[in-house]
Chain A
Amino acid sequence: MGFISDADKETLRDHFADSLTGDVEIVMFTERDSPIIIPGKQPCETCTPTQELLEEVAALSDKLKLTVHEISAAKEQAFALGINRVPAFLFEGAARGRVRFFGIPSGYEFSALIADLVDVSSGATDLSEETREYLSTLTEDVNIKVFTTPN
């Protein structure tokens, strides 16, 4: 039993076929389940479900590819990408900036994930001309954090 129903998979497959223009790599950082209990360290309860959900999404289009890194084995890469907690993933595609997700993308975040995949695929958004013009003048870095919950 997967996360996405067969009906939703069909809808998403059609949506991706219509909307994805370029390839997108979903780069995920995770933590393997450890048989050892380390005092003070919480196991990552959402790492495996997040990976399974992303595998289901990536399987819905030839333009999507999922790469999974164990964070302890890819520390330098994670650091360079600003990933310091798991589960986390980001997209490599036609976006100029970077979109990172921390935590399992369920509920509201799932819609954001699908919309972002489409935008990163094309490198284009439906933002207004005023917004795009302003963004093109930015010379310094801007970080936007969006806190959400599944419902």
Chain B
Amino acid sequence: MAVESEHVTADVIEAMEFPELSRRYGVRGVPKIVINETIEFVGALPESQYLAHVREAVEANGKNTM
């Protein structure tokens, strides 16, 4: 997604190397995904569900026109 949009930044974080980040984001299982600090889920999802979470995060921020 970060390849497709200039507005997207994707961070891949090695959870065990950065325990303070893992604690802050409550990482208990991987992959754990956190979008805009608001929407989070664990596990690899089909693309359509992943996109739904991104939409949800954007709408929760009330920032997007869509």
Contacts and interface: CB of A to CB of B under 8 A. Distances in A.
Interface in A88-144: 94-105, 108-109, 112, 116, 119-120, 123-125, 127-128, 130-132, 134-144
A46 B66 CA distance: 42
Interface residues of A, number: 46
A96 B14 contact: no
B10 A124 contact: no
A85 interface: yes
Contacts of A105: 12, 14
A134 B3 contact: no
Nearest to A101: B12
A128 B48 contact: yes
Contacts of A46: 14, 17
A145 interface: yes
A144 B8 contact: yes
A150 interface: yes
A95 B4 CA distance: 7
A139 B61 CA distance: 12
A144 B37 contact: no
9 contacts: A98-B2, A98-B10, A125-B4, A130-B48, A140-B64, A143-B36, A143-B37, A146-B13, A149-B15
Given A99-B2, A131-B4, A145-B25, 9 more contacts: A96-B6, A97-B3, A99-B3, A127-B47, A140-B64, A141-B9, A142-B9, A147-B31, A148-B31
